[in-house]
Structure 1
Amino acid sequence: MTAALPTRTAVLDPPTWQARRQAHEQRMAGWLTPHLHRRRSGVKHPVEDFLFTYYSHRPAQLRRWHPGAGVTLRAADPAEFGRDYLATPDGLTLDTEGVRGRRADSITWIRSLLVATADRPAQYGCFGMHEWAMVYRQTQDEVRHNAWPLRLSPAETARTVEANRVRCSHFDAYRFFTAPARPLNLLTPTRQTQHENEQPGCLHANMDLYKWAYKLSPLVCSELVADCFELAREIRTLDMRASPYDLAALGYPPIRVETASGRAEYVAAQRDFTDRAGPLRARLVDAIDDGASSTAARR
């Protein structure tokens, strides 16, 4: 489900905004409840828990609903929404100017990255080798998800990495490469060159739309954060199915990127995610710009 962005300067009556909040909370419960149960039980899941352990947004923050910039909520309790909201004659509305003022540098950085990524042609030649480079020349005990076996032997895994040119453009994937794998990459991504390297075919760049959405919250509505989260979950599934790990016992049949047919399957899925991520990236940029317009209109 993809929710529309709220209309700028919209005034929502209590039944309308409360229904939106309830729908968001119910949507989140489908993802949060199993994770929280596993966490209480001390059970780890290499696919389903990734978005909660790798990213900093906590389950309680993800569950909380925000209407986004330019929306006024009639009869809303300020205590339920926090310091970022202002009381107006029409109701409660986001203090867009205050939020933007406190986060100006971060918002500018995120917007420029989103625009730069969208403007660059998509590349589809990585074949998911970033996950393989993260276990390259490691033993089973050394790999990150060592509770789960690798599909191939360490020697076969290494040969797969060496036979496929590693061309990862994403710094936050590259930084987890093993030391022997880093020289095999065609690029040397850094945080400083992130705007120059990220491209819309990259699974991790598209997964990170969730990170940029929650970092922009509450300027963006929670429905958009949830849409980005949903996409990131699906991307993580592809990422791990194409990885060197054997997760068939968890219900994730492998995409064998060490074969020509597996690489073709991976690229087809990668292209689909690129097509789906594009509108979300554009919605995030629009939300930033709408927030700027809301601020200017109030001056």
Structure 2
Amino acid sequence: MTPLPGGRNTIERIARLGYGARGAVYVVVGALALLAAVGQGGRAGDSKDALRAVLAGPFGAVVVGLIALGLLGFAIWRLVEAVTDADRRGTSAKGLAVRGAHLISAGLYLALAASAASLSLGLGMSGGDGMHDWTAWLLAKPFGRWLVALGGLAVVGGGFGFLGKAWRGDVTDRLALDARARERWAGPIGRFGYAARGLAFLIIGGFLVAAAWHQRSSDAKGLAEAFALLRAQPYGWVLLGLVAAGHAAFGAFGVIQARYRHIDAPDIDRVDDAAGAAVRALT
């Protein structure tokens, strides 16, 4: 097996903790949805529902607190990726789009980390229904309808990106694993997970486009409603079971990334310099 790359600086440790925490959340999301599909559990939910489920388990507050730290680490890593181009995406249209998506991802995981921290401290889940709240806020603004539609199309584009990655099979490109390990277990797990996330993104993006079309924030829905839509189809329990298992696989692949992903993390001083340069470029 290929050895892990290089030494480990602080940002690399933060990134690996982040991948592991994100992976743990999606393993729980997938497991809960899979139980719902086979009639052995309640409602298939999203990442916040997964955190609540973890809280109800042994040492729940401590575990959720650790997950909160990990999700904060993942948000920091996504920000570093976007600002410093740590993965060398470049400044092409595709590279800038990926870096922009990482920036949005940083904000989303920062909000989820705050919710997890609040839950672990016994303060309840912070914030309201984020999808509906943000959509309602945007729809009330000039050109808000078009912004919501653009956001929905961007999510749909992300879904096709996930599906394309699953189809091409290049999910393991950044893993420090030999060819045999990639082919036998890492690749199939990653491709299954990315395909499931891609399908979920297509549905969620469709919800956002519908919200823009009808100018109703209630039409903007998240992962839990995407699961519910799948369950309502003919043979829906099979569809839901497959997508649920795929989300669990996506979580498992996150744990694999935490261990084996090649992370070319810049030194903290370089991150500070890059962030300062980005701020100066905007002012």
Q: TM-score normalized by structure 2? A: 0.29
Structure with the bigger percentage of strand: 1
TM-score by length of 1: 0.27
Q: Find the structure with the greater CA-based Rg.
A: 1
Q: Which has the higher contact order (CA 8 A, sep 6+)?
A: 2
